[in-house]
Structure 1
Amino acid sequence: MKKLYIDAIKNNLFVKIMLVFAVIIVCATATLAYFTVDYMSQSVADNELEKQKMSMERVNQQLAGKVGVVQQQVQDIYRDPSFSYSLSYLLKHSFSEYMNFKMDSYYNNLGSGIDDLDFFKKMIENDADIANMLLFSSEKQFLYMFGQSNLTKLYQTQASKSYVPDAMALESSIVSTPNPWVRRTVGQWDDKLFSVRVHINEVGTLSNVGQLLVFFQADALKKALTSEGRDRRGYILILSGEGQVIFDSSDRYYGKLYPYVDKIKSVDSLAFLEEESYISMLPSSSLGYTVFGIMPKREVEAIYEPMKNAVIAASFAFILITISIPSFVVFNFSRRTNRIIRSMRRVETGDLTIRIVDEKEDEIGQLSQGFNKMLDELSRHIDRVYVAELKQKHTEFAALQARINPHFLYNTLEVIRMRALSHGAADVSEMIYSLAILFKSFVQQQTVVTMEEELENCRLYLELFRIRYKDRFAYVIGCDPELKERMMIKMSLQPIVENYIVHGLRSEEEDNLIKVTATLENEMVTIVAEDNGAGISKERLEQIKRSLGRYAVQEPVDSLGLRSVKERLELIYGKDGRFDIESVQGKGTKVIFGFPALRKGEMENVPRISGR
């Protein structure tokens, strides 16, 4: 497990980047989704509660309308003096006395033409929502009931025989549930009723002579909710001050005290009733009841549940897309960088043939191309160093062979020189002397010499050919005095002048000349070897210059000396070493090379010389 973590996560930058990116995306999306769902749920709840409050307003208006109708009818009674007097007479006398009064009024033509009892009957006929209408006489203590289908009945309710007078005296709210003693007296046991009570006063004295009770069907209030249809959620309650159910849109709590009356009267908008529910309240203190709206939280959640699921699904889709696309791009980069890493590891094992195939021009593509170019350059550099080392081995081998008994060879040349002198061949003796001195210098184990020594060796070499060609060849060697003790590569002039002797000297002409000059400028030595020999054709000169730029073991023999000088300059002085050749066919050749003007102590600090 730990190895998997190290390989897959700890040592993988791209995986860590994607993990951090994924965590950020998931957290940000989850947070946004949470607040979105919370806002949507709150909006839905507010909208549903607002709709329920509008329903509560309509129910309240419906109930207030019923109360208003009853109160308006009583006011109409007060506006008709004879009718008002007749009703007061009914409530203050026995029913038989009232009937005699009505007969006398009719014969004496004192009546208004309105029958008291017919008035109330018409009220019931005009409003099908009225179940019963009761007139209660406070003085005579009787109940006169009007019902649907012209049903009328008189009930004696003296205090000695019934609790109705006491109940009528105690109740004071305009709207309530029917009193159980009144229900029992008139035989009305329908629970879905509410009562509207209006006191009847005598016009002259304003004393209370009775009460009008109207029992309405509670379902009449549902007419205010019919416009909502099946979209109605929760239920609406109308409770009396004691908690009795006046109206219940769910039809579950009629005929009993509402069991959660204490909870819904609290100020909290959310309470646990049958289940956790939102509570809205609309009090009506003047009429003695309160309208409540009960909205179960479960029903609200059911509304926004599809929206919540849609938000969650959209969030998952967003997370998937947002992570997948960058992951594809990042892992593509990872695959390409891993290819570079694998190639680097193969290079570490010594495989320089590996190349990265990546044709894209982005940063990784440029890195891959740079890697390939680096390997190409490294291969060329290794080839150059290898060839140079191989040449050095060849040179060391040749020098080893040349060092075989050098004193024997030197002594042999000295014997030959003395033999030539004894036979009068002074020029031969002089040539052998120069050759012996040159040979003695060549076999010494020095890599660099002073410029004075190198120029002297060059002079001895040229002197050999001056003796040979007599007056047909001359040379000139010049050097700034301050350069004599400066150091230079051993045998760097000999190959150049030899190249002139072999290829440029015109043996049939008598004006052959070569000039070798060494000058100092800005601590840089410049050596020019210029001759008036046969020169080099343009094509051949280009060929020689190209060959000087190639590193191969097999080389054209006529450019071996020049290549040796150029390569040794580059190996020892690096970019500070320079070499060039100019020539015009028939006019001569000029070889120019330069290097830093170093003294002996400074030359030892050069790594290529000191061997460090």
Structure 2
Amino acid sequence: MIKNILEQLRNKVFNKILFMSSLTIIVTMLTLLFTITHYYSEVIVQKEMDSNMRTLERVESYINRKKDFTDNAFKELYTSGDLILDISYALQHDYDDYLEYRLNKYSDSSSFVASNIDNFFYAYFSQDNHINAISLRSVEGIPEYLYVFNHFRWKNSLLQPELESEEAFYTDNILKIQNKKRDSNRELRNTVVFKRTLNDPVSLTKLGEIRIYYSLEGIEDLISLRNTASEGTYYIVDKDGEMVFQSHEKNDQGLIKSLDFKSATQEVQWKNETYHINTLASEENGYLFVGSVPESEIEKLTVIRGSMLLLTCIFALTAILITFFAMKSYSKRIQTIETSIHQVKEGNLSVRIPHDHKYDELSTISQSFNNMLQDLNKYIDEVYIMNIKQREAEMKALQSQINPHFLYNTLEAIRMKAIIEGSKTTSTMIYTLGQLFRYSLDDRQLVTIQSEIEHVKQYINLVQSRYPNRLQLDIDIPNDYLNRSILKFILQPIAENYMIHGFRNDTNVNQLTIRLVEENHYLYLYLIDNGTGISAARLREVQNNLEGEPVDSNSIGLKNIHHRIRLKYGKGCGLEINSVEDKGTTVVIKIPANGGDSLV
């Protein structure tokens, strides 16, 4: 039973259509879902990476501003001669000697403002609240003057706290430390250091260097202003691969240190995780700015995939249900039509499909089916009348076959009477007329060129009996072409047309020439006369009539010939008429040479 049901389902065309449409809807929806989600994911990733890059650009701009600030301070040191001399003395002597030097210098100066390191550093660098400290040290590292502007941040930036000696003191709220002995480098975190070398302005020998320690709290503020949904992590790495800044404490230094020092956007696989990374290299500052977003964070932003999948399923199910109920209605109507057809097959011609008041193809089929049965019943009722009429037509056909024989016999009797009475001319004319009539009643479509020429000759002979010595017929056709096939009755009507419209009764030099020429795989039959010709206006009318415009009763014979030739050989063939008034007319018949095979 189940097998029969499945077989019926397979045989129902609407079930097949429903299956194919459902499959098409599902495949289309899934393809659309995949395309949209894939595109949406790429847009999300691109949007996050663009926002990430803009944050890196702001961080780079922040570092550049700090660098420019440092460079301007360094230039101002050198532009002030007293200040560079003060720094030079401080770096080459201990602190006590330097204080004595400053006092002597101030006492000798006429200015109320002393030009020394303390005043310069306080006046210039206090403008930037992101500076933690400034270090001024000699080449050997002794002495070192450390100016701490933000004691709390400075202590937090040191990885290993350093002790303040008894030589640490405050001046103008700035902590200054002079260490007798100091390592060349401090280990710091979240600090950007700008180093500048100090040279003696006279001897250009290296005196020491200035180091300015900037807190990266400003960078953290910039990162917090980012317009992005993912959190991500931002890094600053120097050319040696050392981590200068990290926005979040993560154990991914190995990933960052493996990056090349260049600006790029890339995907990196590290520890079974995909990272979308922007790198911005600053050759001028010697820093690589890195923005990293793991794939897992971006996937959290694409939760819309689940919603889109649910909507896709709902839309697909809705479309399938709509298709099912629509097809169910059509299926019932098709079933009704199918049942009616089976009843007709069994011989019930009185069945009719109920009219459903719907205007579609099925309604048209139903109406046509009902009309067909109605007409069929009508034709069955009339079949006997049709048989009777057919028998009558057969009788008339037999009768029509008798009439030509009666005409031939009558003409022959008249001809014999004329011979007996000695009228040879009348006898010849009757004989020629009989031959013309016999040729016209022949039901062959194709004849030889020779037969068609003979028919023209017989017609001309009949005309010459009426106009003796006034008409000459010239035939210029090679013997090789006489057995070629040609459509019957295409030459004599043209000759007859000449006799009716172009023959001159007042002259004895009337001439009709029939010539055949083969050229470019076509046969050209020329019928040339020296008759009255056709005026230009009348010639245009005749030519237009040949091409299907309104038929003139005077040229219907030419039109008939033209169309018969075209029906037989195609549009490239037919008649062409040229004429000059009072000089004559030329009619050209064009037929294919290969269509003129021999009939003998």
1:271 paired residue among 242, 251, 268: 268
SS at structure 1 position matched to 2:303? helix
* Separation in structure 2 between the aligned mates of residue 140 and residue 28 of structure 1, nearest angstrom: 75
Q: CA deviation at 1:137?
A: 0.8
Q: CA deviation at 1:352?
A: 6.6
Alignment of 1:252-401 (within 5 A): 252=250, 257=253, 259-263=255-259, 269-273=266-270, 275-306=273-304, 308-309=305-306, 311-313=308-310, 315-316=312-313, 318-320=315-317, 322-345=319-342, 355-359=352-356, 360-372=358-370
Contact 2:199 2:205 in 1 (8 A): yes
- Residue aligning to 1:58: 58
Amino acid at match of 2:291: G
Q: String of CA shifts for 1:136-178, please: whole Å, max 9, x gaps.
A: 1114633221113421111122xxxx6x24xxxxxxxxxxxxx
Structure 2 vs 1, CA of residues 257 and 247 (structure 1 numbering), >3 Å: closer, same or farther? same
Q: String of CA shifts for 1:193-243, please: whole Å, max 9, x gaps.
A: 232222122222222211112222222212323433674632221111222
Q: CA deviation at 1:336?
A: 0.8
Amino acid at match of 1:247: F
Alignment of 1:1-150 (within 5 A): 3-9=4-10, 11-109=11-109, 113-123=114-124, 125-139=126-140, 141-148=142-149, 149-150=173-174
Structure 2: runs of 5 or more not aligned: 150-172, 397-600
- Residue aligning to 2:556: none
- Residue aligning to 1:151: 175
Contact 2:261 2:281 in 1 (8 A): no
2:202 paired residue among 178, 201, 204: 204
Structure 2 vs 1, CA of residues 75 and 244 (structure 1 numbering), >3 Å: closer, same or farther? same
* Separation in structure 2 between the aligned mates of residue 220 and residue 295 of structure 1, nearest angstrom: 21
Structure 2 vs 1, CA of residues 105 and 139 (structure 1 numbering), >3 Å: closer, same or farther? farther
Structure 2 vs 1, CA of residues 222 and 260 (structure 1 numbering), >3 Å: closer, same or farther? closer
- Residue aligning to 1:221: 219
* Separation in structure 2 between the aligned mates of residue 193 and residue 595 of structure 1, nearest angstrom: 120
Structure 2 vs 1, CA of residues 20 and 264 (structure 1 numbering), >3 Å: closer, same or farther? farther
Structure 2 vs 1, CA of residues 342 and 84 (structure 1 numbering), >3 Å: closer, same or farther? same
Q: Which moved more, 1:121-130 or 1:48-57?
A: 121-130
Amino acid at match of 1:270: E
1:247 paired residue among 241, 245, 248: 245
SS at structure 1 position matched to 2:258? helix
* Separation in structure 2 between the aligned mates of residue 264 and residue 346 of structure 1, nearest angstrom: 85
Q: CA deviation at 1:19?
A: 2.7
- Give aligned pairs, total: 369
2:386 paired residue among 556, 562, 575: 575
Contact 2:230 2:297 in 1 (8 A): no
Q: String of CA shifts for 1:277-336, please: whole Å, max 9, x gaps.
A: 211111011211111111222333333432x45554554455445544444433322221
Contact 1:200 1:210 in 2 (8 A): yes
Amino acid at match of 2:388: G
Q: String of CA shifts for 1:384-427, please: whole Å, max 9, x gaps.
A: 8xxxxxxxxxxxxxxxxxxxxxxxxxxxxxxxxxxxxxxxxxxx
Q: CA deviation at 1:29?
A: 3.9
* Separation in structure 1 between the aligned mates of residue 202 and residue 86 of structure 2, nearest angstrom: 13
* Separation in structure 2 between the aligned mates of residue 154 and residue 319 of structure 1, nearest angstrom: 79
Structure 2 vs 1, CA of residues 7 and 106 (structure 1 numbering), >3 Å: closer, same or farther? same
Structure 2 vs 1, CA of residues 90 and 257 (structure 1 numbering), >3 Å: closer, same or farther? farther
Structure 2 vs 1, CA of residues 370 and 252 (structure 1 numbering), >3 Å: closer, same or farther? closer
* Separation in structure 2 between the aligned mates of residue 140 and residue 337 of structure 1, nearest angstrom: 103
SS at structure 2 position matched to 1:246? strand
Structure 2 vs 1, CA of residues 92 and 257 (structure 1 numbering), >3 Å: closer, same or farther? farther
Amino acid at match of 1:213: R
* Separation in structure 1 between the aligned mates of residue 255 and residue 41 of structure 2, nearest angstrom: 29
- Residue aligning to 2:517: none
SS at structure 2 position matched to 1:293? strand
* Separation in structure 2 between the aligned mates of residue 373 and residue 252 of structure 1, nearest angstrom: 86
* Separation in structure 2 between the aligned mates of residue 29 and residue 21 of structure 1, nearest angstrom: 12
* Separation in structure 2 between the aligned mates of residue 140 and residue 320 of structure 1, nearest angstrom: 80
Structure 2 vs 1, CA of residues 87 and 355 (structure 1 numbering), >3 Å: closer, same or farther? same
Contact 1:576 1:595 in 2 (8 A): no
Q: Which has the larger radius of gyration?
A: 1
Contact 1:576 1:596 in 2 (8 A): no
Q: CA deviation at 1:354?
A: 5.3
* Separation in structure 2 between the aligned mates of residue 70 and residue 130 of structure 1, nearest angstrom: 11
SS at structure 2 position matched to 1:269? strand
Q: CA deviation at 1:59?
A: 0.7
Q: CA deviation at 1:87?
A: 0.5
Contact 2:51 2:228 in 1 (8 A): no
Structure 2 vs 1, CA of residues 596 and 257 (structure 1 numbering), >3 Å: closer, same or farther? closer
SS at structure 2 position matched to 1:209? strand
Contact 1:277 1:294 in 2 (8 A): yes
* Separation in structure 2 between the aligned mates of residue 232 and residue 15 of structure 1, nearest angstrom: 49
* Separation in structure 2 between the aligned mates of residue 269 and residue 49 of structure 1, nearest angstrom: 10
* Separation in structure 1 between the aligned mates of residue 228 and residue 20 of structure 2, nearest angstrom: 50
Structure 2 vs 1, CA of residues 277 and 330 (structure 1 numbering), >3 Å: closer, same or farther? same
What RMSD over aligned residues (CA atoms) do the two structures have, in Å? 3.6
Contact 1:135 1:212 in 2 (8 A): yes
Amino acid at match of 1:116: I
* Separation in structure 1 between the aligned mates of residue 118 and residue 51 of structure 2, nearest angstrom: 43
* Separation in structure 1 between the aligned mates of residue 5 and residue 260 of structure 2, nearest angstrom: 60
Amino acid at match of 2:363: G
Contact 1:193 1:215 in 2 (8 A): yes
* Separation in structure 1 between the aligned mates of residue 144 and residue 66 of structure 2, nearest angstrom: 22
Contact 1:239 1:246 in 2 (8 A): yes
* Separation in structure 2 between the aligned mates of residue 230 and residue 367 of structure 1, nearest angstrom: 64
Contact 1:92 1:140 in 2 (8 A): no
SS at structure 2 position matched to 1:6? helix
Contact 1:198 1:213 in 2 (8 A): yes
Structure 2 vs 1, CA of residues 48 and 193 (structure 1 numbering), >3 Å: closer, same or farther? same
Q: Which moved more, 1:360-369 or 1:308-317?
A: 308-317
Structure 2 vs 1, CA of residues 287 and 260 (structure 1 numbering), >3 Å: closer, same or farther? closer
Structure 2 vs 1, CA of residues 305 and 213 (structure 1 numbering), >3 Å: closer, same or farther? same
Q: CA deviation at 1:53?
A: 1.1
Structure 2 vs 1, CA of residues 205 and 358 (structure 1 numbering), >3 Å: closer, same or farther? farther
- Residue aligning to 1:173: none
Q: Which moved more, 1:319-328 or 1:40-49?
A: 319-328
Q: CA deviation at 1:340?
A: 2.1
TM-score by length of 1: 0.53
Structure 2 vs 1, CA of residues 129 and 91 (structure 1 numbering), >3 Å: closer, same or farther? same
Q: CA deviation at 1:123?
A: 4.7
